[in-house]
Amino acid sequence: MKVLISADIEGIAGVFHPEQTRSGNGEYEAARRWMTLEANAAIEGAFAGGATQVWVNDSHGGFRNLLPDLLDSRAQVVLGKPRTLGMMAGLEYGAALVFMIGYHAMSQTRGILAHTINSFAFARVSLNGEEVGEAGLYGALAEEYGAQVALLSGDDVFANETAPRFPGARFVVTKSATGHASGVTQSPASARAAIESAACEVVQHHVANGHPSQATRGAAKPVECELRVQTSALADLFCQWPTITRVDAVTLRFGAASAEHAVRMLNCLSAMSFMLR
């Protein structure tokens, strides 16, 4: 059974403030260690449940937060950017199951450190009329590659908004939100134990029920993406892209040949936004 673990930082137990997510300070160094250890708990649980290969994808910021020397040596680590599949890099190796560890709620919700891809640039993102966060976007990409999103962890707002999108998936709630930068958290050790146990049980279930150990990619379907940006200046910038249609001052629309192409377009726009910072 091949497993891909995508690890973000905002949903990690103990993480509440933007400073903990940005390099160059002691609080970040502690948070990246907690992130690494939660990813490692998922790796260890996956192997205990019967996984044969595991990739862990560093999915936060510059994609170089994980500390590889703290990870189970049996796993392979996907680091650095840019990369075509972004937070789902590793799907190309045939992972059958995807775990989303340390994920967060979508932009403009009450989740802890909630945002979608780029808090400076993006207010709301919809695929085919359904508002989605990073889990929804990258889950659609995983499904195009034939992989199943089987385990997710993060705060309670993230779990509640995401559960309808992935029926049958397991959720580990690491903390409860009381505001954008406040809430009640499990201890890092408790969160890791819950993630390891859930990862083991999820893989055992799929192995026992004869699920394919490697994904087979199906045919992609066109999608329509609507993007609400934070300012009209960003809309001015993004509309330099010839295939983007402007709906109003801050709402844009574009078609894509697949969820993968929509994600790649959004990541390109996110990169473009840095010229207005």
Domain assignment present for residue 34? The answer is: yes
Burial of 170 (C-beta count, 10 Å sphere; 0-12/13-18/19+): middle
The answer to whether the bond into 82 is cis (omega within 30° of 0) is yes
* Whether residues 166 and 267 fall in one domain: no
Looking only at the bridges linking them, the beta strands covering 148-155 and 76-78 are unpaired
Residue 218: the pLDDT is 83
* Whether residues 190 and 233 fall in one domain: no
* Whether residues 246 and 126 fall in one domain: no
Alpha-carbon distance of 161 to 132, in angstroms, equals: 9
One pLDDT digit (tens) per residue for the chain, 277 residues: 999 999 999 999 999 999 999 999 999 999 999 999 999 999 999 999 999 999 999 999 999 999 999 999 999 999 999 999 999 999 999 999 999 999 999 999 999 999 999 999 999 999 999 999 999 999 999 999 999 999 999 999 999 999 999 999 999 999 999 999 999 999 999 999 999 999 999 999 999 999 999 999 888 999 999 999 999 999 999 999 999 999 999 999 999 999 999 999 999 999 999 999 9
Residue 55: the pLDDT is 98
Give the other-Cβ count within 10 Å of 213's Cβ.
18
* Whether residues 106 and 239 fall in one domain: no
> Number of structural domains, the chain?
2
Contact 64, 79 (CB under 8 A): yes
* Whether residues 93 and 189 fall in one domain: yes
* Whether residues 121 and 152 fall in one domain: yes
Burial of 99 (C-beta count, 10 Å sphere; 0-12/13-18/19+): buried
Q: What is the CATH number of the domain that holds 50?
A: 3.40.50.10780
Give the other-Cβ count within 10 Å of 70's Cβ.
12
Residue 219: the pLDDT is 86
* Whether residues 227 and 202 fall in one domain: no
* Whether residues 135 and 202 fall in one domain: yes
Domain assignment present for residue 126? The answer is: yes
- State which residues form the domain around 91: 2-208
Looking only at the bridges linking them, the beta strands covering 170-179 and 148-155 are parallel
For the chain, what is the largest distance between any 2 Cα atoms, rounded to a whole number of angstroms? 53
Give the other-Cβ count within 10 Å of 274's Cβ.
10
* Whether residues 132 and 202 fall in one domain: yes
Contact 96, 149 (CB under 8 A): no
* Whether residues 262 and 166 fall in one domain: no
Among the candidates 151, 184, 208, a domain finishes at 208
Domain assignment present for residue 215? The answer is: no
- What one-letter code names the amino acid at 219? A
* Whether residues 197 and 231 fall in one domain: no
